């Protein structure tokens, strides 16, 4: 008896044949959307890094000073201040008398060296306007004169005060107009040029109210050493260049109140660096 096959030959042949072509899996629409979003973000970031620019600023210290500077009127001898002939704010010519310094001690009509007020006792009181200073001649009196034409910015001398040789009795400002003097470190000196606009922030005026835009008028050609007494009115650690900045106004509005600027006020000047792209900054940081 002949055995019949369990499956037809055609069915067996069809089952053993392989399908030709690639297997395609369906991709959900959400996956396509997420991929498109990531690509868009990367493209936008690359465009921003290559086109967006920013400016870094370097802060330097400075102060306000009369445009022509301030000159000291000093005593050329030891003595007592017999008379003060000016007041703060007075305009004076060069050579005008500011104060008279005498060499006699109070209550000593026979002459002799002046005495420090700290050595006065009950029997020797400080001089007065009608005391021995007015009664006895003093051939050795010294007149302290104004060294330049200007305004008396500060008056240190007081009648009856004992002063030593070289003591400052008054400060005479050559001009009423104040300018800013800033100390520029050598590593940013190339960023400051005449005609440049700088942002000035006054230390004594908090917030954005104490801000002005100044114009650089002069930059020193040679640096000042850190230990140079003429370098700055503020301490410096490294060689600096002095730059003068013209102010837009001698007053500043603070909360609706006009405040006069004064010599000696400290300030901070912001020096902008050249603009560069974010990509350049990243490259410099990595490099």
pLDDT of 138 reads 53
pLDDT of 88 reads 86
CATH code for the domain in which residue 89 is found: 2.40.50.100
Residue 139: pLDDT over 60? no
Domain span at 208: 57-67+176-286
Average pLDDT, the chain: 77
Is the overall model pTM greater than 0.75, yes or no?
no
Statement to judge: residues 215 and 160 lie in one domain: no
Quote the CA–CA distance of 65 and 246 in Å, as a whole number: 11
Statement to judge: residues 279 and 180 lie in one domain: yes
CATH code for the domain in which residue 245 is found: 2.40.30.170
As a whole-number percent, the residues of the chain with pLDDT over 70 amount to 75
pLDDT of 90 reads 87
Contact by Cβ (8 Å): 56, 154:
no
Helices (H) then strands (E): counts for the chain: 4, 18
pLDDT of 18 reads 66
Residue 83: pLDDT over 60? yes
Residue 37: pLDDT over 70? yes
Statement to judge: residues 90 and 186 lie in one domain: no
Number of separate domains in the chain: 2
pLDDT of 38 reads 92
Give CA angle at 155 (153, 156), nearest 5°. Answer: 135
pLDDT of 135 reads 35
Residue 93: pLDDT over 80? yes
CB atoms within 10 A of CB 187: 9
Q: Tell me the per-residue pLDDT of 199-258, one tens digit each, with 9 for 90 and over.
A: 999 887 766 567 889 999 999 888 887 666 555 566 677 788 889 999 998 888 877 788
Nearest alpha-carbon partner for 102 in 163, 170, 171: 163
The answer to whether position 149 is within a domain reads: yes
Statement to judge: residues 181 and 276 lie in one domain: yes
Residue 183: pLDDT over 80? yes
The answer to whether position 28 is within a domain reads: no
Q: What are phi and psi of 150, to 5 degrees?
A: 170, -155
- Helix%, strand%, coil% for the chain, nearest 5: 20, 35, 45
Q: What are phi and psi of 17, to 5 degrees?
A: -80, 140
The answer to whether position 18 is within a domain reads: no
Statement to judge: residues 104 and 241 lie in one domain: no
Q: Tell me the per-residue pLDDT of 200-214, one tens digit each, with 9 for 90 and over.
A: 998 877 665 678 899
């Amino acid at each position: 008896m002949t055995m019949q096959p369990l499956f037809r030959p055609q069915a067996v042949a069809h089952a053993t044949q392989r399908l030709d072509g690639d297997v395609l899996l369906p991709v959900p629409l959400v996956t396509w959307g997420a991929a498109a979003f990531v690509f868009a973000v990367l493209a936008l970031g690359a465009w921003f890094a290559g086109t967006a620019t920013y400016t870094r600023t370097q802060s330097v210290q400075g102060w306000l000073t009369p445009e022509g500077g301030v000159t000291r009127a000093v005593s050329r001898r030891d003595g007592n201040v017999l008379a003060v002939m000016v007041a703060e704010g007075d305009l004076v010519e060069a050579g005008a008398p500011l104060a008279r310094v005498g060499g006699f001690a109070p209550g000593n009509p026979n002459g002799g060296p002046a005495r420090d007020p700290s050595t006065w006792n009950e029997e020797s009181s400080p001089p007065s306007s009608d005391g021995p200073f007015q009664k006895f001649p003093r051939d050795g009196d010294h007149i302290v004169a104004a060294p330049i034409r200007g305004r008396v910015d500060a008056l240190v001398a007081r009648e009856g005060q004992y002063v030593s040789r070289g003591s400052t009795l008054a400060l005479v400002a050559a001009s009423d107009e104040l300018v800013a003097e800033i100390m520029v470190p050598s590593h940013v000196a190339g960023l400051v040029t005449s005609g440049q606009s700088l942002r000035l922030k006054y230390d004594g005026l908090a917030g954005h109210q104490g801000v002005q835009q100044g114009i650089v008028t002069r930059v020193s050609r040679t640096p000042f050493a850190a230990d140079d007494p003429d370098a700055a009115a503020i301490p410096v650690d490294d060689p600096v260049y002095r730059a003068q900045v013209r102010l837009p106004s001698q007053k500043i509005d603070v909360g609706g109140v006009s405040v006069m600027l004064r010599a000696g006020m400290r300030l901070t000047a912001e020096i902008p660096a050249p603009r560069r792209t974010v990509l350049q900054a990243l490259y410099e940081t990595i490099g």
